[in-house]
Every structure is written in C-alpha cells, then in structure tokens.
C-alpha cells in the first residue's frame, strides 16, 4: 500500500542536490500524492517501459513513499561500511552520538560534534535524518542522575530545547522520549518518573515542539510488536495525548526481534496506532538468527509496514552484523563482510512488491 499520509516526507531540511533520476522519481511520487523523496529512487519509468524492480533498499522503499534507514556508528572511514551505507539506505539515525550523555556531558555544556557529522553527511547525500533520543532513563550523563524535582525538570527542558533547537529544521523525526513503559503497561519507575511524576512525558513533547516545530515527534519503545499489555499502555497515553492536543506525531516500534518471533498481531498493532492519527515507524529493527527463519521475520515486518499507510518507513539497527550491539546473534541484513544475507533479499522483494 502506497503511503497516503500527506506531508509524510515534506523535506524539513535545506535544499539538497538531487540526481535527475531522483527528481524524476519524486515527480512520479508527488503526482501520486505521496510527498516522498529518496535520493536513491530509480528513474521514473517511461510510459512504454516496464517498472524495473529497485536494486537497493532505499530505492525500493521510495517506490511506496517510504524510507529505509539504518543506525550509524562512527565507522565513516571504513570503505565497505560507508559504501553500503551510501548505496542502500535513504535514512540515518545516530546509534549513540545524539543521546544525552554524548551531547551534554556536563550541565549546559554541549557537544554536537558527533551529531553534526552525521547530519552533514546525510544532508550532503539527501538522506532523511531521525533524531535519537532526547530523553531516556539510560545513557544519561552522570550529573543528571542525582538531580531531583524541579532541578531535574529544568535540566530536561534545557536539554531538549538546546539539542532539538540546534538541529531544528534538519531532523525528520525525533525520538523525544524513549522506553518509558514497563511490560505490564505501567510507567517505568525511572528518575524522570519518580522525580517529575506522570506529566514529564507531555512536558518533554511540548518542549520539543517549541524547539523544532517541523520535526515529527515520536514516542519510541521496544517489546511493542504485538497487541499486549505494554503496547496497550502506550496506546492509552497516545490516545490521551491526541485527545488533549499534546504534540505527538509518531510512535516508534524498535522491533528488536528473534527469528521465532510471533508477529500475528504486529500489523494490527501498527494500524491501531495509525488510526489514532499518528505516523508509525519501525525504528531499530534487528532479528536474531539466520537463514530462512530470519528472512521470514524481516519479510513480515516489511509487509506489515507496507500494509499501513501511515508507516513512514523502517530503520534497521546497524549496517553490518559485526558492529551490532547483538553481534553474536547476527541480526542485520549484511554480514560481517558486508555481503547481503537471505534476509536482505526478502526485504528487497517485499519492498519491490509494493511499488505503487
């Protein structure tokens, strides 16, 4: 299903150079009412030509107005890493460089070097950029962890304002709040929850909206790959936010999966969030395992996103198995030698099958 969400990928970034084929493809997609742009989209087929299946993940996703992205770590100088990143992916997110511990190591002293490098890299290549993550209980710098009450509230607000403000206009989607719910659907009892009470998530979203009015503002979590107690808890929050006009535009489903994953309610779960009026994004996809079983799970995730019009796209959590946070499970689409795995072919075929 081609995405029908208006303004899905209206560029929020400054003008970029585009190849002729990209401009042509954008014209085709724009004519179809899909405001999508991908730097790797194939040349628009002439009236007489048959539509050629796209040969890269980003180009295949662009055919249905979506992106296909990856988390990026600091391996720019490695030719195979950079070559695969450039060729295959139309969206990027910093695996660690834009988190609180990296961007504000000391109170009100900011270090944007890692994030700036990725943003500049992506902008020069016309790639979408996801921001990850403004507020999270993990990877907080040490000075945050002892703060209490309004002191913590002011520190959180300042962090969001300064980081989202620094990248304003360049980020397509921000993970504003990450992993704030427990498996039973209750709030995680983090320092943020304990010190600030239930209102801290709404506060974070309102602060982010002020700092960057253009970015899609996302709530991001794991273990939400089905209709379950955790996704129910998040669903209740998003429904309440939408009813009260709290600025939330998107829900991120991390989707850290195994090859035996039961995805029987995955699509319905995405759809029920989309029916609340938010976009849905697969934000950190990786699937522990190998061969056909792993490929089948990747295929199901891609097909589920393609079946939900408001699913903007998919991000895998890394380029190559060898740098994955769960490397021993070989969870990604390229092996340690940057060779395409069976799962790659399954995803590419699924994306091409949905070409508009």
Catalytic residue numbers, as ranges: 179, 284
Minimum Å gap between C-beta 35 and ligand G3I is 29
Q: Are 247 and 211 in contact (CB under 8 A)?
A: no
**Residue with smallest beta-carbon separation from ligand G3I:** 325
Minimum Å gap between C-beta 246 and ligand G3I is 22
Q: Residue 182 class from Cβ within 10 Å (0-12 exposed, 13-18 middle, 19+ buried)?
A: middle
Interacting residues toward ligand G3I by CB under 6 A? 95-96, 138-139, 178, 254, 284, 325
For residue 356, CA distances in Å to 1, 64, 316, 345, 352 come to: 7, 6, 23, 19, 9
Instruction: Give the other-Cβ count within 10 Å of 174's Cβ.
Output: 30
Alpha helix ranges (H) inside the chain:
20-31, 57-62, 79-88, 100-103, 113-124, 142-145, 149-166, 191-196, 200-211, 229-244, 266-274, 291-307, 342-353
Minimum Å gap between C-beta 102 and ligand G3I is 8
Q: Are 155 and 197 in contact (CB under 8 A)?
A: no
Minimum Å gap between C-beta 77 and ligand G3I is 16
Minimum Å gap between C-beta 19 and ligand G3I is 31
Instruction: Give the other-Cβ count within 10 Å of 328's Cβ.
Output: 8
Minimum Å gap between C-beta 178 and ligand G3I is 6
Taking the least distance from each CB to ligand G3I, the nearer of 175 and 203 is 175
Taking the least distance from each CB to ligand G3I, the nearer of 284 and 329 is 284
Q: Which residues of 301-317 are buried (b: 16+ CB within 10 A; e: fewer)?
A: bbbbbbebbbbbbbbbb
Taking the least distance from each CB to ligand G3I, the nearer of 33 and 105 is 105
Provide long-range contacts, Cβ within 8 A and 24+ apart, for 188-194: 188/137, 190/137, 191/137, 191/140, 191/144, 191/145, 191/147, 191/152, 192/135, 192/137, 192/152, 192/156
Cα angle value 336/69/289 (rounded, 5°) = 40
What are the residues facing 311 on neighbouring strands?
280
Instruction: Give the other-Cβ count within 10 Å of 24's Cβ.
Output: 17
Taking the C-alpha atoms of residue 195 and residue 323, their distance in angstroms, rounded to an integer, is 36
What are the residues facing 70 on neighbouring strands?
92, 316
Minimum Å gap between C-beta 224 and ligand G3I is 12
């Amino acid at each position: 299903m081609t995405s029908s969400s208006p303004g899905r990928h209206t560029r929020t970034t400054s003008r970029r150079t585009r190849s002729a084929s990209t401009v042509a493809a954008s014209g085709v997609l724009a004519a179809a009412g899909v405001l999508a742009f991908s730097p790797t989209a194939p040349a628009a087929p002439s009236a007489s030509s048959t539509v050629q299946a796209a040969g890269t993940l980003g180009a295949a996703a662009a055919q249905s107005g979506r992106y296909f992205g990856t988390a990026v770590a600091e391996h720019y100088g490695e030719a195979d890493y950079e070559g695969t990143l450039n060729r295959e992916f139309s969206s990027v997110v910093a695996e660690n460089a834009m988190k609180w511990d990296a961007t504000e190591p000391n109170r009100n002293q900011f270090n944007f070097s890692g994030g700036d490098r990725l943003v500049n890299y992506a902008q020069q290549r016309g790639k979408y950029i996801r921001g990850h993550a403004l507020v999270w209980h993990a990877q907080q710098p040490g000075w945050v962890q002892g703060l209490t009450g309004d002191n913590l509230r002011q520190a959180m607000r300042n962090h969001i304002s300064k980081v989202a403000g620094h990248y304003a206009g360049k980020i397509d989607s921000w993970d504003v709040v990450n992993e704030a719910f427990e498996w039973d659907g209750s709030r995680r009892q983090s320092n943020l929850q304990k010190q600030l009470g239930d209102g801290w998530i709404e506060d974070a979203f309102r602060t982010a909206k002020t700092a960057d009015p253009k970015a899609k503002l996302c709530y991001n979590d794991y273990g939400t790959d089905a209709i379950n107690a955790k996704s129910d808890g998040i669903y209740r929050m998003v429904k309440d936010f939408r009813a009260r006009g709290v600025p939330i535009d998107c829900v991120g489903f991390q989707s850290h999966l195994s090859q035996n994953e039961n995805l029987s309610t995955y699509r319905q779960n995405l759809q029920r969030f989309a029916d609340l009026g938010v976009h849905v994004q697969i934000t950190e996809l990786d699937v522990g395992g190998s061969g056909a079983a792993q490929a089948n799970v990747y295929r199901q995730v891609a097909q589920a996103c393609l079946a939900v019009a408001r699913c903007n796209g998919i991000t895998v959590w890394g380029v190559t198995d060898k740098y994955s946070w769960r490397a021993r499970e070989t969870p990604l689409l390229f092996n340690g030698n940057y060779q395409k795995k069976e799962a790659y072919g399954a995803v590419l075929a699924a994306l091409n099958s949905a070409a508009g």
